[in-house]
């Protein structure tokens, strides 16, 4: 909610107790303001600040900046940016302070080229502005252009004028169009994450601090700081510091020598503050039953590939995942950063218990809702419980994530290893027990295992897991599968007994997920594979039934920017015979008895001419596969961008499917994805 001063009627941020315009105390009314995306462009003789609501502010030798108008606009909206905290707002603050174009350009270069921080640019604050920066809210890495590609923005466009150029008056319209497109992308990003932003707003109210522009891990740190009665000093742990894993007393193996392996292999803190394991530990293959496993800093993983398992009358397939695995381990093994002490454990346990309570209450309310209770009252309480559970999940997982960051108050690399290695060993202990009972574990990842069990032995499987839960203090959650098809442990498709499908890695949907946001890569092909495995739908039926161009596009980031070459790419070096064939096909005259060195020189010049015919696309490249197309996308060095042969660029999405869309290419790609799962596709 926004504060509106009753004296001067200016708006200002909700975290301020007095109006920054007239100094009046907090006599205010609350109101909800409309959003305005904001973006800036800076050149040596031109500054542009645009808003999605239509306001445009410019500074040029022939055009003074309307400082009063810009301040008024910033106070009238909830201003939404992408990287506004790191770039736009420091620049705007300088502009409001009266900086000229040269000063703004110098500051822009310091931020972009030299990675200067906002406080290195200006000490002026825009805290009176109600501002949300979406950069930390979205999952994973990536700039605005790649995010726009992932959201299937209508138009993808790089900066149209070199940032070192001088801007003529007639070029300003190009920058306006470019900036307007970025504003549309920022607004689209805001529309993509309403739930995440709403949760941050509710948590801001709960804790009395502005959390709207923070990532999950940043939220956890900010909340912990606000709750602690003392200031935490980040520990300094020199690079090269070594430490050993400390196994909990309940950890036991029947025959695996993993504890001895860990005892002789210390972990080492690197220059960046992260942790690395020894080569011996990283390369050890742990064989149990018919499967093999490897340990890592992040988690355990099995090494299966190209394998399909199906449940039948004789065997069941069950996925057993540990509920709140790392938070539970932190509490059960009494792990905490030393610089915070026991206060961390007390606060963390409070969050954990609060989340469980809210989660269980939400489940009860869901049942009441199905039974036809008082709908309005139940829905209100259900929404409140879901918010509580989600907010506590954010701080629980975010706190763990910061154990490995040397810039965080939570930094405790040895304790991070205690959590992750204990988690892996605990799963291996369960796997060893199941396999010794003749029950196969067919896959394992960070927080769970997939078990293929004879139906007459399910009672034994359940007893093994129950004993394990009682020893470790952990709780399993279960999902039953009809089948699971794996390319590898990180890429698989599983069909649940209720017909729902779980997809991961190369077979996941290209949408925001906990671990990031995959690029669109011909989603129709993945959908065809899923439909075939879940329902037996022929691959061709799915591909030909789809008329959404977004399901056919591929997206890739190209460092330095990619360019489209409408002809096939010519290699830098090839055989003399192939050089002659290429030159003859290109109509280049060659004399009789031409020397080899001369032939190479002519070929090099011809290749350079061909490359000059490439059309610059940008750093975020989008394409589809077309009938008869032989073109490709090249890197700035002339290299081929992977999997772009036979493509056509699609930097602006059409309203209808291109006439030359090569559906058969996508059918063949779907067949290839099926084969990667280990299925025989000869008859498909």
For CA atoms 323, 325, 329, 335, the dihedral sign is: negative
DSSP string of 494-549? EEETTS-EEEEGGGS-SS-BTTB-PPPB-HHHHHHHHHHHHH---HHHHHHH---G
N residues, the chain: 684
Same-domain status, 140 and 33: yes
What is the reported pLDDT for 489? Answer: 86
Same-domain status, 188 and 46: yes
Residue 8 lies in a domain: yes
For 255, other C-beta atoms within 10 Å of its C-beta total 7
- Which strand (E) or helix (H) includes residue 266? none
Dist CA 678 CA 492 (whole Å): 11
Dist CA 320 CA 175 (whole Å): 54
Q: What is the CA radius of gyration of the chain?
A: 29
What is the reported pLDDT for 18? Answer: 65
Q: For residue 471, give every residue at least 6 positions away whose Cβ sits within 8 Å of its Cβ, in sequence order, or none.
A: 250
Closest CA to 300 of 473, 421, 430, 465: 421
Q: Which of these three, 202, 227, 252, is where a domain ends?
A: 227
Residue 285 lies in a domain: yes
What is the reported pLDDT for 28? Answer: 44
**CA 381 to mean position of chain CA atoms:** 31
Same-domain status, 242 and 215: no
Residue 334 lies in a domain: no
Q: Which of these three, 201, 227, 253, is where a domain ends?
A: 227
Closest CA to 3 of 24, 28, 27: 28
Q: What is the DSSP letter of 155?
A: B
Dist CA 310 CA 306 (whole Å): 14
Q: For residue 676, give every residue at least 6 positions away whose Cβ sits within 8 Å of its Cβ, in sequence order, or none.
A: 306, 487, 506
118, 81 Cβ separation under 8 angstroms = no
> How many domains does the chain fold into?
3
What is the reported pLDDT for 80? Answer: 97
What is the span of the domain harbouring residue 76? 2-227
Dist CA 258 CA 275 (whole Å): 19
Closest CA to 381 of 399, 395, 397, 361: 361
Residue 530 lies in a domain: no
What is the reported pLDDT for 591? Answer: 73
Dist CA 384 CA 387 (whole Å): 5
Mind listing the pLDDT tens digit for each residue in 599-639?
888 888 877 777 777 899 999 999 999 999 999 999 988 88
For 591, other C-beta atoms within 10 Å of its C-beta total 9
Same-domain status, 27 and 133: yes
Residue 520 lies in a domain: no
Residue 99 lies in a domain: yes
For 4, other C-beta atoms within 10 Å of its C-beta total 17
Same-domain status, 116 and 63: yes
Same-domain status, 48 and 85: yes
386, 362 Cβ separation under 8 angstroms = yes
Same-domain status, 544 and 574: yes
Residue 353 lies in a domain: no
Residue 505 lies in a domain: no
Q: Which of these three, 479, 500, 521, is where a domain ends?
A: 500
**161 half-sphere exposure, CB direction, 13 A CA radius:** 21
669, 679 Cβ separation under 8 angstroms = no
Same-domain status, 209 and 314: no
DSSP string of 2-47? EEEETTT--EE-TT-SB-TTT--BS-EEEEPPPEEEEEEEEETTEE
What is the reported pLDDT for 451? Answer: 97
CATH (domain of 59): 3.30.420
Cα–Cα distances in Å, from 527 out to 163, 324, 530, 537? 41, 30, 5, 10
Dist CA 202 CA 204 (whole Å): 5
Q: Can you list the residues of the chain whose pLDDT is less than 70?
A: 1-32, 373, 514-515
Same-domain status, 46 and 127: yes
Cα–Cα distances in Å, from 72 out to 28, 58, 400, 666? 18, 15, 42, 52
Composition of the chain by helix, strand, coil, percent to 5:
40, 20, 40
511, 192 Cβ separation under 8 angstroms = no
Same-domain status, 247 and 288: yes
SS (H, E, C) 398-430: HHHHHHHCCCCCCCCHHHHHHHHHHHHHHHHHH
CATH (domain of 478): 3.90.1600
Dist CA 670 CA 664 (whole Å): 10
Same-domain status, 125 and 244: no
Same-domain status, 483 and 553: no
441, 447 Cβ separation under 8 angstroms = no
| pTM of this structure | 0.86
């Amino acid at each position: 909610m926004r504060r509106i001063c009753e004296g001067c009627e200016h708006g200002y941020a909700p975290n301020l107790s007095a109006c920054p315009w007239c100094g009046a105390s907090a006599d205010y009314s609350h109101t909800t303001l409309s959003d305005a995306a904001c973006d800036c462009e800076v050149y040596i003789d031109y500054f542009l600040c645009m808003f999605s609501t239509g306001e445009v502010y410019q500074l040029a030798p022939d055009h003074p900046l309307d400082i009063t108008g810009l301040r008024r606009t910033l106070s009238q909206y909830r201003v939404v940016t992408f990287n506004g905290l790191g770039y736009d707002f420091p620049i705007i603050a300088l502009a409001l302070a009266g900086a000229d174009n040269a000063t703004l350009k110098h500051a822009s270069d310091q931020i972009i080229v030299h990675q200067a921080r906002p406080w290195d640019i200006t000490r002026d604050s825009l805290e009176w502005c109600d501002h949300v920066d979406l950069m930390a809210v979205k999952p994973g890495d990536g700039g605005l252009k790649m995010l726009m590609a992932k959201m299937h923005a209508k138009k993808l466009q790089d900066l149209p004028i070199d940032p070192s150029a001088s801007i003529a008056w007639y070029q300003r319209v190009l920058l306006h169009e470019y900036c307007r497109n970025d504003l549309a992308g920022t607004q689209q990003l805001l529309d993509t994450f309403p739930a995440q932003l709403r949760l941050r707003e509710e948590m801001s109210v709960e804790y009395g601090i502005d959390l709207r522009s923070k990532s999950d891990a940043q939220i956890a740190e900010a909340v912990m700081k606000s709750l602690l009665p003392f200031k935490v000093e980040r520990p300094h742990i020199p690079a090269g510091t070594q430490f050993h894993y400390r196994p909990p007393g309940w950890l036991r193996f029947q025959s695996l020598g993993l504890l001895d392996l860990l005892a002789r292999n210390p972990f080492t803190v690197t220059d960046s503050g992260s942790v690395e394991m020894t080569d011996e530990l990283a390369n050890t293959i742990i064989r149990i039953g018919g499967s093999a496993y490897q340990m890592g800093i992040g988690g355990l993983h099995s090494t299966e590939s190209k394998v399909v398992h199906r449940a039948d009358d004789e065997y069941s397939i069950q996925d057993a995942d540990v509920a709140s695995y790392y938070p539970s381990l932190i509490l059960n093994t009494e792990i905490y950063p030393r610089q915070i002490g026991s206060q961390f454990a007390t606060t963390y346990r409070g969050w954990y218990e609060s989340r469980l309570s809210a989660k269980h209450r939400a489940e009860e309310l869901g049942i009441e809702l199905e039974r036809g209770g008082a709908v309005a009252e139940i829905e209100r309480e259900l929404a409140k419980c879901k918010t509580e559970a989600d907010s506590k999940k954010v701080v629980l997982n975010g706190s763990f994530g910061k154990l490995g960051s040397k810039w965080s108050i939570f930094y405790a690399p040895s304790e991070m290893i205690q959590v992750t290695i204990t988690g892996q060993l605990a799963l291996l202990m369960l796997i060893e027990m199941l396999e010794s009972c003749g029950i196969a574990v067919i896959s394992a990842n960070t927080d769970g295992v997939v078990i293929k069990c004879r139906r007459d032995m399910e009672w034994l499987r359940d007893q093994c897991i129950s004993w394990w839960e009682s020893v470790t203090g952990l709780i399993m959650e279960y999902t039953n599968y009809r089948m699971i098809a794996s390319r590898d442990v990180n890429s698989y498709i599983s069909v649940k007994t209720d017909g729902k499908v779980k997809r991961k890695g190369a077979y996941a949907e290209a949408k925001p997920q906990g671990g990031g946001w995959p690029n669109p890569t011909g989603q129709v092909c993945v959908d065809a594979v899923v439909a075939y495995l879940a329902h037996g739908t022929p691959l061709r039926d799915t591909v030909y039934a789809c008329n959404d161009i977004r399901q056919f596009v591929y997206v890739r980031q190209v460092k330095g920017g990619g360019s489209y070459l409408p002809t096939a790419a010519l290699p830098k070096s090839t055989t003399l015979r192939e050089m002659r064939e290429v030159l003859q096909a290109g109509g280049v005259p060659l004399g009789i008895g031409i020397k080899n060195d001369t032939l190479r020189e002519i070929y090099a010049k011809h290749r350079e001419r061909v490359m000059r015919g490439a059309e610059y696309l940008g750093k975020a490249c989008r394409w589809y596969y077309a009938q008869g197309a032989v073109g490709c996308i090249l890197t700035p060095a002339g290299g081929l961008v992977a999997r772009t042969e036979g493509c056509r660029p699609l930097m602006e999405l059409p309203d209808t499917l291109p006439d030359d869309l090569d559906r058969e290419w996508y059918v063949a790609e779907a067949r290839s994805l099926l084969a990667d799962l280990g299925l025989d596709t000869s008859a498909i």
